[in-house]
Structure 1
Amino acid sequence: MKTSLLRKVRRAIERYGLFSPGDRVLVAVSGGVDSVVLLEVLWLLAREYDLKLWVAHYDHRLRRGSLEDALFVYRRVREKGLPFIYGVGPVREYARREGLSLEMAGRELRYRFFERLRRNLDLQKIALAHQADDLAEEVLLRFLRGAGRRGLAGIPVKREGYIVRPLLLVTREEIRDFALARGLDWREDETNRDVRFLRNRVRHLLIPFLERHFHSRVRENLRRTALILAEEEELIEDLTREAYQRARLREKEIALSVPVLRDLPVALRRRVFWKALGEAGVPLMRVRRSQLEALEGLLSGKARGPVSLPGGFVARRAPGRIRILSRALPRVEPFRLVIESSGEYELPGGWRVEVRSGGDCPPEAVRIRGSFPLVLRNRRPGDRIYRPGVGHQKLKKFLWELGLDPEERDAWPLVEMEGRIVAIPGCYRHPGFEPLEGEEFLCLIFRKLA
């Protein structure tokens, strides 16, 4: 059985290109039999594939025995002479704060920990201990919850080019037999038998029922179907990456071109949205289908937005693009400030302005013919500006064409004199209020602080 398991792992490594010579690999070890066997297998194969191993254990602090689990892993890793990294997180508090289940919260924090180690230690791969029975259970779970083709592909053997699962072609029984043959010991997690959890009900109740009453090889059929879909997913992922590169605009935040998105088939466009959310840092495990549909609404114009996304992110429609931002902009209430003398003034929305009467005026400042008083305010319904060659234009349309979000438009300060909008910092000056040589003028220096 030992030889059979190693043969299957080699086959997975070579078939899916899980490792390259010289890879620095983080092995995630919980202390359960699957992860203990994963560590043993990669330790045995490290010289053959020229791998350098690090071991990480994440303590969720959800069970009284969690510290003993960490110490157990530490001792096994020390015996092999490998570097060990211990992580711990307030899973229960995080779940309460974010409104997540304990399972979802633990998974988010755990993956975040592994990803941080990958970046900080310059590691090429993260090896996880999912096995063939996990794959079958995951497919059924996703089917019950409602999933598309991507979801029914289950747990991929390789994801994002660096998350790898070398045991995914190996069954739970084969793993246990290997552990016993090698004389390995492991920690048992009693919660794995608690049928209050949906995953455990699938494992201990649903699959055995299907095997008894429908087909004795249900697990094998589910695994085979998932692997076929996963292999086809590789092709679709290649198409998605190409489409994403075409749609992605070269801006500081993640922004997608509306014309490019409209030209994509709906199924591919949904994948591009998904990839963009991941690139922006949105926790993908929490993204719902309704939120992807809301992004479609932004694109078609049926929804005005913004679309709220997990993790405090929002998606907004702007001229010619859809932007994914890391936080919602604070709404600025209407304001109106009458300026009657020189000085510095703070405005809502993170703006500050220095007002001078004539004198030295920097090139980027706003120069306005006339004298005090003047008014600084934000926009109001019905506001218009005068543009030579265009005539009077709605301010709302002008700011939209500049690519400002609604909240940015609400906060942007306007300069008013004699009942007319005479300047907008950074983008507009009324031609009738440009000072001529020798005329009295006011100098306004605007700074955006936030």
Structure 2
Amino acid sequence: MNHEEFLQRIFTNGDKGIMSQPVLVALSGGADSVALLRLLLDAGCRCYAAHCNFHLRGEESMRDERFVRKLCNRLDVPLIVNDFDVAAYQREHGGSVEMACRELRYTWFEQERERQGCAVIAVAHNADDQVETFFLNLLRGTGIKGLAGMERLNGNIWRPLLSVSRQDIPDYLSAIGQDYVTDSTNAQNDYRRNRLRNIVLPIIEQQFPQSQERILDTIGNLKQDHDLLMSLVNDAIPDERHIDIPRLLSQPQASTLLYHRLRHLGFNRSQCEQAVTAARQSHSGRQFAAPNHIMHLNRQTIDIEPIGRQPDIAIPIDLTADVLSPVHISISRNNPPFSPRMCDGNGKVAFDIKLLDCQRIVLRRWRRGDRIKPYGLKGSKLVSDLFADLKLDHRAKRDTWLLEADGDILWVLGYRASALYAVQRESQDYLLLHLEK
């Protein structure tokens, strides 16, 4: 395949509008991203390059940065480099190294896309990455959307190499005399994707020749099926902000229909199943929270609103069973004799069974002026002071839930429990609450 044929294979007529504007290229220095940059430049696209240095591979990380600086200087491509402290981000937000790097990378890419006036962020995912994503989602458990894989254009993320196999890329670079760097950790099997890539998929290909091509065909079929499904879903629920309950309940698989309409807002299957069950039982007043939206069940409609418009929202909960929304709290009651060692006071707490006598138990967000009587301390403390002691940032404070019973704050979920309804040692009549991650 010559150079022109390779270009025609990658870029479609639908890409012309994108390529007529500046593009921000995610440039690691590896074969895929270097090939992407060279292909875009050869196609006449005006490019900016963005390089992330996570400092996770010592001198090799610095080698990569030196390489991309030299490459961009030679190609006359503006380059932006950012240094990240992954460990600090994990301490603040939790999660794996992989997840931390992904969140840091894409947040910064979007900031730079806006700053440089670029149309999209071009990333170098290829056909092999698509197959790996299919299996990772399959083994994790997913639906048709997850199995349909990565989209060529998803919002501001553009993946023009999804039709190109990984083995074709070094051949292209060799043909144009372009070098690249290799990440030594790609050969290590510390991460799930690497184990899949280096161990599992070669066995599948050996036992089932041409399996990758067939899987890619399947992904394409699933993508078409998903597009058709979403067209039908949108026809059935034309207004996601105000959903007509009688019309929804008249549909087959109403909870699945509701989930597909609202999943992009962060609502999960369990919440949609509970909402439909409550609607069938005419339980108006129920509420379900996604990260940035709230679902209200009224008599005739399900209304969706941004949480930012509901600063004082309070969600009634029942502590006689596990709480699934807006956060997952597992609850056990018939417990062995109580010992303080059973709790950590943060994500695993205990309260006397008399808590169930309260008239109103809710989960709500923090409000200025909220106070808690922390277990083990005298008197009360402003929740804002607790946040300051914990050095929580704005997002962490915003995302924290409080457990309130009859006006008293009993638990700042994940951080501190109240002395109210404290359990006596050896008591067997108590509730053990565990905040699930």
Same fold (TM over 0.5): yes
Partner residue of 2:46 out of 52, 70, 76: 52
- 1:24/1:408 CA distance change after superposition, 3 Å: farther
Q: What is the CA–CA distance in structure 1 between the aligned matches of 2:403 and 2:228, rounded to whole Å?
A: 40
C-alpha deviations, 1:359-385, integer Å up to 9, x for none?
Answer: xxxxxxxxxxxxxxxxxxxxxxxxxxx
Unaligned runs of 5+ in 1: 250-255, 278-286, 335-347, 352-405, 412-450
Q: What is the CA–CA distance in structure 1 between the aligned matches of 2:200 and 2:405, rounded to whole Å?
A: 55
Question: 1:331: Cα distance to partner?
Answer: 7.9
> What secondary structure is seen at the aligned counterpart in 1 of 2:167?
helix
Q: Which amino acid aligns with 1:233?
A: H
Question: 1:305: Cα distance to partner?
Answer: 7.1
Question: 1:171: Cα distance to partner?
Answer: 0.8
**Contact kept in structure 1, 2:294 and 2:305, CA below 8 Å:** yes
Q: What is the CA–CA distance in structure 1 between the aligned matches of 2:244 and 2:117, rounded to whole Å?
A: 33
Q: Which amino acid aligns with 1:276?
A: L
Q: What is the CA–CA distance in structure 1 between the aligned matches of 2:22 and 2:250, rounded to whole Å?
A: 41
> What secondary structure is seen at the aligned counterpart in 2 of 1:56?
strand
> What secondary structure is seen at the aligned counterpart in 1 of 2:81?
strand
- What does 1:10-29 correspond to in 2, within 5 Å? 10=11, 13-14=12-13, 17=15, 19-20=17-18, 22-29=20-27
| Aligned counterpart, 1:35 | 33
- What does 1:144-293 correspond to in 2, within 5 Å? 144-160=139-155, 162-213=156-207, 215-237=208-230, 246-248=239-241, 265-277=254-266, 291-293=268-270
**Size of the alignment, in residue pairs?**
318
- What does 1:27-176 correspond to in 2, within 5 Å? 27-46=25-44, 51-64=45-58, 65-160=60-155, 162-176=156-170
Question: 1:199: Cα distance to partner?
Answer: 0.8
- 1:193/1:21 CA distance change after superposition, 3 Å: closer
**Contact kept in structure 2, 1:131 and 1:171, CA below 8 Å:** yes
**Contact kept in structure 1, 2:145 and 2:226, CA below 8 Å:** yes
Q: What is the CA–CA distance in structure 1 between the aligned matches of 2:150 and 2:16, rounded to whole Å?
A: 14
**Contact kept in structure 2, 1:23 and 1:52, CA below 8 Å:** yes
Question: 1:219: Cα distance to partner?
Answer: 1.2
Question: 1:295: Cα distance to partner?
Answer: 4.0
Q: Which amino acid aligns with 2:265?
A: A
Q: What is the CA–CA distance in structure 1 between the aligned matches of 2:303 and 2:183, rounded to whole Å?
A: 48
- 1:74/1:240 CA distance change after superposition, 3 Å: farther
TM-score by length of 1: 0.61
> What secondary structure is seen at the aligned counterpart in 1 of 2:160?
coil
**Contact kept in structure 2, 1:29 and 1:56, CA below 8 Å:** yes
| Aligned counterpart, 2:273 | 296
TM-score by length of 2: 0.62
Question: 1:56: Cα distance to partner?
Answer: 1.1
Question: 1:258: Cα distance to partner?
Answer: 6.0
Q: What is the CA–CA distance in structure 2 between the aligned matches of 1:260 and 1:231, rounded to whole Å?
A: 26
Q: What is the CA–CA distance in structure 2 between the aligned matches of 1:295 and 1:44, rounded to whole Å?
A: 48
1:317 aligns with 2:296: yes
Q: Which amino acid aligns with 2:23?
A: V
Unaligned runs of 5+ in 2: 316-357, 359-365, 370-401, 408-437
Question: 1:166: Cα distance to partner?
Answer: 1.1
Structure whose CA Rg is larger: 1
Q: What is the CA–CA distance in structure 1 between the aligned matches of 2:228 and 2:199, rounded to whole Å?
A: 35
Q: What is the CA–CA distance in structure 1 between the aligned matches of 2:274 and 2:22, rounded to whole Å?
A: 43
**Contact kept in structure 2, 1:5 and 1:174, CA below 8 Å:** no
- What does 1:409-420 correspond to in 2, within 5 Å? none
Q: What is the CA–CA distance in structure 1 between the aligned matches of 2:232 and 2:21, rounded to whole Å?
A: 27
> What secondary structure is seen at the aligned counterpart in 2 of 1:246?
coil
> What secondary structure is seen at the aligned counterpart in 1 of 2:172?
helix
Q: What is the CA–CA distance in structure 1 between the aligned matches of 2:262 and 2:275, rounded to whole Å?
A: 12
Question: 1:168: Cα distance to partner?
Answer: 0.9
Question: 1:151: Cα distance to partner?
Answer: 0.6
- 1:121/1:329 CA distance change after superposition, 3 Å: farther
**Contact kept in structure 1, 2:36 and 2:161, CA below 8 Å:** yes
Q: What is the CA–CA distance in structure 1 between the aligned matches of 2:314 and 2:19, rounded to whole Å?
A: 53
Question: 1:328: Cα distance to partner?
Answer: 8.2
> What secondary structure is seen at the aligned counterpart in 2 of 1:321?
strand
Q: Which amino acid aligns with 2:174?
A: L
Identity of aligned residues (%): 30
- 1:207/1:21 CA distance change after superposition, 3 Å: closer
- 1:196/1:299 CA distance change after superposition, 3 Å: same
**Contact kept in structure 1, 2:126 and 2:166, CA below 8 Å:** yes
Q: Which amino acid aligns with 1:133?
A: D
C-alpha deviations, 1:91-120, integer Å up to 9, x for none?
Answer: 233234333121122112211112222333
- 1:307/1:328 CA distance change after superposition, 3 Å: farther
C-alpha deviations, 1:274-315, integer Å up to 9, x for none?
Answer: 2223xxxxxxxxx8xxx4312432453389876565xx6574
- 1:211/1:116 CA distance change after superposition, 3 Å: same
RMSD: 3.9
Question: 1:204: Cα distance to partner?
Answer: 1.1
